[in-house]
Chain A
Amino acid sequence: MRLNRIMRAFALAIPLLAAVSLVACSDDDGDATAEPTAQPAADPTADATTEPTAVPTSEITVTDAWARATPGNPDENSAVYMLITNDGTADDRLIGAAVDDGLATTVELHETAMEDGQMRMRQVEGWDVPRDGGTLELAQRANHVMLIGLTKQLVEGDTVGLTLQFEQAGEVRVEAPVEQGMPMQMDDDGGS
């Protein structure tokens, strides 16, 4: 979680730096009318000195990730939760996930739903993460990255390394600390 905070701060710093270099360039040219729409600055890969009409891109940040500790039975399952934010200019979609080092036999995207008093869980193909600050919350009783067939017990203090697959942003790394988890109230953000 601490790592994610740092990554987020870093991600925020990039557009700032890009904006600064843009201003510097226009000063060199002696041209005071810099592009008023500094939108390309939101894209860390864009070269601010070239054309202003940048292709819309997705910019994914993951915060508050955690994986559920397991009791220590053979062949267990677990779930990973997190908050995903897209500060880019293009809509994106989470379409898959994988864990490091063969920690789980299968990794799937799951949703939990209550139907007629029954708790149901099923696999989904993906979830949208809209542009311009749109968020996707993977939270208890709702959505999770499901780790099926763990090859080892998840103990508090461990970290689960996983790679998320996005339609636009491609692969995004997440380090999820293992936590016991907390009861969550209906209108709680579930933060720990």
Chain B
Amino acid sequence: MTQARAAWLALGGVLVAAVLGGVFALVSRGEPYEYSGYAIENSELALDIQLTDGAGEPFVLSDRMTPATAVYFGYTHCPDVCPLTMLELAAARDALPEERRDDLQVLMVTVDPERDTPEVMDTYVSHFDDSFIGLSGTPDGVREVMQEWGIVAFREEGGSDRSYFMSHPSTVSVIGADGRLRLLIPTGLTPEAIAADLLQVMDAS
């Protein structure tokens, strides 16, 4: 019977469509995002920062979590990589959809608290983006934060007490709303690539 054949064909067509649709849904949902930076998985520790902000007020990160927080450890007498990284983060923030920009907070923590007072940090980060927060504190307070975040920095040989250089990490640490480390951003990525990575962290929070 031609009617029966038509029915079988229709059923077959529906089945094929269903299978294809299912496969497509699986692929588009299950395709893992490729990070441009270094994704950190299964970080257990919730990180915090307790230092002093630009207004001289106590700053407690765990009291003011956003979907993503990018933290850079540097120092203001650094003429090359620190300002470059700040420029990269400012451009990445601009590359975010406008309604998502406030989901990101960018913090710069000094590894050189002897010279970088909270006020100096404030002037420094504002030069790159008004929303950036500069943090300093006592040498002990800063050392504690660096230890918690696994940050190594040391004073380079030579120089004088007024003029010396520091070695410091080359990456930006990004944590989610739960304080867990999610991502390390190396220097040299495009603003768009950084923004895409940050959106992933935000959406996972």
Listed in ascending order, the chain A residues whose CB lies under 8 Å from chain B are 68-73, 75-79, 105-106, 110, 112, 114, 117-123, 140-141, 144, 146-149, 180-186
Contact = CB atoms under 8 A, between A and B. Distances in A.
B152 A118 contact: yes
Given A121-B78, A121-B156, A141-B187, A181 B170 contact: no
B170 A78 contact: no
Interface stretch (B8-16, B42-50, B160-168): B160-168
A9 to B, nearest CB: 30
B97 interface: no
Contacts, number: 89
Given A77-B77, A181-B84, A183-B87, A72 B188 contact: no
A182 B79 contact: no
Binding site of B, secondary structure by majority: helix, strand, loop or mixed? loop
A184 B127 contact: no
A70 B83 CA distance: 9
28 contacts: A69-B127, A71-B123, A72-B123, A72-B127, A73-B120, A73-B123, A76-B76, A76-B77, A77-B77, A77-B78, A79-B80, A106-B163, A118-B152, A118-B167, A118-B168, A119-B167, A119-B168, A120-B156, A140-B81, A144-B80, A147-B79, A148-B163, A180-B87, A181-B83, A183-B91, A183-B190, A183-B191, A185-B188
Nearest to A118: B167
Nearest 4 CB-CB pairings of A with B: A71-B127, A79-B79, A183-B88, A186-B188
A122 B79 contact: no
Contacts of A144: 79-80
Given A119-B168, A149-B163, A140 B84 contact: yes
Contact of B84 (A117, A120, A147, A184): A184
Contacts of A181: 83-84, 87
B37 to A, nearest CB: 13
A141 B168 contact: no
Contacts of B162: 75, 149
Interface of B: 76-81, 83-84, 87-88, 91, 120, 123-124, 126-127, 152-153, 156, 158, 162-163, 165, 167-171, 187-191
B80 A141 contact: yes
A184 B188 CA distance: 6
B80 A73 contact: no
Nearest to B126: A71
Contact of A141 (B77, B84, B165): B84
Contacts of B80: 79, 110, 112, 121, 140-141, 144
B124 A73 contact: yes
Contacts of A146: 79
B20 to A, nearest CB: 39
A119 B79 contact: no
Contacts of B120: 73
Nearest to A69: B127
Given A75-B162, A114-B170, A183-B87, 14 more contacts: A77-B77, A77-B78, A77-B79, A110-B79, A118-B169, A119-B170, A121-B78, A123-B158, A141-B80, A141-B81, A144-B80, A146-B79, A148-B163, A184-B188
B43 to A, nearest CB: 17
B164 to A, nearest CB: 10
Task: Count chain B CB atoms within 10 A of each CB in A119, A120, A123, A146 and give the residue with the most.
Answer: A119
